[in-house]
Structure 1
């Protein structure tokens, strides 16, 4: 019996296993790949499990800061030992209530996406008698990489359009309670290769330097985003970036020559790269059936457990971790839900499976339970086990309950 079989027998399935040693290794790889002057933010949206977040904050080497976009993520960051001052609060739809909570908890840096967003941040900051830093998220009019998931260069709820930023800058400068501290970019996600990632970062740095010069924009802080890759739910290794440090350094030396002395302070951010390879999903086969010549392998884990973001067309299909030399066949891997949309993989290669067999889905540490349809059909959330080596650090499950009006108005 291997390690995963032991954990599945002990805690049941569906079961997520998060390996803190693997997560710490990913953090070390990425910090080593970047110039040492860079700060690294962990995007909690990828996996807000407190033990995972804590492992990225502490431990040997350089820890991460926290990138959050809700008060729920703020609570998870605080529970993992971050302070509000460690957090960058992002998102295009911040409400007054969220901002009051965040600023009250000590958050002092916000990425902003519009004039009204900046005004709202400033108004709440004045209520608290503080001044907070605002980074202007910039939606570049052009892009470098032609592959990967594009996050810029198109109409978007995210960021100020770079070509019209100068027109609104006087309004932004007039807002009290905030200081324009710099810029935030996030041009792509899950870059296909190092060349496209470096090209996009270089384009971003060039645009930031141009906006600083042309518009007189302050640039104390520059977050150039992420895009670091790891396979999602299929076998494979994290991206490798041997040229990144030297290429970024050369570009910064040319365009922002004071960067080595902290002008501006520099940051990157990552979610999936840091945690993706550190997670494995274990599920059991509930049934196998054939319909009109096609085989369906039905698991106890579906889109309520994993892949609820599949409607975006970004994350699936999955692949089962094979055993060397094991024969394979073509079948659809589906979940237990009463909907034809509960498909994890359509006509993919699978080992010959039978009811009761354990299925292992690798690289499942990012966008798991909290990115899934957890409450659909009322099935319990999967169990999440955190391990470090052979030690089980924690065992938990997300629980939902309905709050009635008497509870809400207390």
Structure 2
């Protein structure tokens, strides 16, 4: 753990050196000619974005806020891929106005919407058809295909009505977007989903070609897994590279010359192991024969979607923050946060060393889907600070920022509810 002197807690601490290492590991697992998008939904912190931009990753965004973050980090809007199963006219218009030209679309309506708004702005846009394949692939962490879904057009639909998925006057259909599942840590599982994606892409490419569509981009998604809120390191996926190169040679002979361009997406693999949440202990007590440890952080700081029984399952590994401070477990504890709900529970039966109010504890590997996938607005508690360190530069002081959701008070004169009983 880096020296956190002067960093207010709770705090998310991000190590940009770990981001660089993860990028190198993932690039080593992918064919040389393959492109790589970073999915900002995992973590849009500016320091992580600028680190990944410098390494050559491109931004994948799915909201105006994420586009703001990507452009603020220095990316050219022409490098962005704008995704999402439902886009308002306002956000598509804004993206086009700022120079975004590549969109993922999920239906004929989305193509027509993009065409209408591109014509309004007197520009031409390109799109990838997102595909919901007919069957899920075994081994997925979170199924993204093969079920009724907001994501993509069913393979059978495109095969049956290809004419509805073709160019419009202001939109050119340039590729396919296939994303089978997420958080896969086994090379065999990843290879299996990419092989299935390419088989589906081949069928669709042939079908669409008869209607004038030339597939020049294949976005195979990602799904590259990483440990979440527990000890561990980035998974070695290097064995994937030779298998993918052989598969590409078999399925898409022109890929080595960029015809089509093959791209992947990653969020959690690139930044997951780069983040640690450090938080104080507020109280330690006994209740009904159980140890209870109350922390300043709960589901409002980490794992809010898990707190609402969403994925990923939340079972954080809590350790002392001070290096070398861990001792033999003395507590068999329920670990909770400060929120006024019994759902604000991180763990039951956690084996912890003796703790006292004021001690600092840490949860490792929460750089992805940590703060930015939590219930930050619930009950109005302040957000944790965010601190950036670089373990390749020991001795460098952390750079700390703090985001606030606090709203300015409304004066009685401007309060529309003033005087209403």
TM over 0.5: yes
State the 1:168 CA deviation: 3.5
* Residue 317 (str. 1) matches residue 315 (str. 2): yes
- Indicate if the aligned counterparts of 2:281 and 2:294 stay in contact, CA closer than 8 A: yes
Cα distance in 2, alignment partners of residues 123 and 33 from structure 1:
40
Q: What's the CA shift string for 1:84-104, capped at 9, x where partnerless?
A: 111000001101100111011
Unmatched 5+ residue regions in structure 2? Answer: 416-421
Secondary structure of 2:35's match?
A: strand
- Indicate if the aligned counterparts of 1:182 and 1:218 stay in contact, CA closer than 8 A: yes
Residue of structure 1 aligned with 2:96, choices 99, 103, 111: 103
Cα distance in 2, alignment partners of residues 219 and 392 from structure 1:
49
- Name the counterpart of 1:178: 171
Cα distance in 2, alignment partners of residues 392 and 86 from structure 1:
33
Cα distance in 2, alignment partners of residues 325 and 339 from structure 1:
30
* Residue 358 (str. 1) matches residue 351 (str. 2): no
- Name the counterpart of 2:69: 76
Q: What's the CA shift string for 1:138-165, capped at 9, x where partnerless?
A: 0111233234211111000000101111
Q: What's the CA shift string for 1:353-374, capped at 9, x where partnerless?
A: 2211110110011112221111
**What does 1:45-84 correspond to in 2, within 5 Å?**
45-58=41-54, 62-84=55-77
* Residue 288 (str. 1) matches residue 289 (str. 2): no
- Indicate if the aligned counterparts of 1:303 and 1:342 stay in contact, CA closer than 8 A: yes
Residue of structure 2 aligned with 1:85, choices 57, 78, 81: 78
How many residue pairs get matched?
A: 400
- Indicate if the aligned counterparts of 1:92 and 1:158 stay in contact, CA closer than 8 A: yes
- Indicate if the aligned counterparts of 1:145 and 1:197 stay in contact, CA closer than 8 A: no
Secondary structure of 1:142's match?
A: coil
| TM, length-normalised to structure 2 | 0.91
Cα distance in 2, alignment partners of residues 122 and 333 from structure 1:
52
**What does 1:6-405 correspond to in 2, within 5 Å?**
6-7=3-4, 9-58=5-54, 62-173=55-166, 175-216=168-209, 217-310=213-306, 311=308, 312-321=310-319, 326-328=327-329, 329-388=331-390, 389-390=393-394, 391-392=396-397, 394-402=399-407
State the 1:392 CA deviation: 3.5
State the 1:402 CA deviation: 4.0
Cα distance in 2, alignment partners of residues 368 and 296 from structure 1:
23
Q: What's the CA shift string for 1:33-57, capped at 9, x where partnerless?
A: 1001011100000000111111000
Cα distance in 1, alignment partners of residues 98 and 235 from structure 2:
35
Q: 1:338 to 1:253 in 2, by over 3 A?
A: same
Q: What's the CA shift string for 1:130-187, capped at 9, x where partnerless?
A: 1111100001112332342111110000001011113342123263210010100111
Q: 1:402 to 1:152 in 2, by over 3 A?
A: same
State the 1:398 CA deviation: 1.3
Secondary structure of 2:130's match?
A: strand
Q: 1:174 to 1:250 in 2, by over 3 A?
A: closer
Cα distance in 2, alignment partners of residues 166 and 225 from structure 1:
21
- Indicate if the aligned counterparts of 2:293 and 2:335 stay in contact, CA closer than 8 A: yes
Cα distance in 2, alignment partners of residues 291 and 299 from structure 1:
16
Cα distance in 1, alignment partners of residues 165 and 137 from structure 2:
28
- Indicate if the aligned counterparts of 1:183 and 1:221 stay in contact, CA closer than 8 A: yes
Secondary structure of 1:289's match?
A: strand
State the 1:278 CA deviation: 0.6
- Indicate if the aligned counterparts of 1:44 and 1:271 stay in contact, CA closer than 8 A: yes
| TM, length-normalised to structure 1 | 0.93
Cα distance in 1, alignment partners of residues 401 and 35 from structure 2:
31
Q: Give the root-mean-square deviation of aligned CA atoms.
A: 1.9
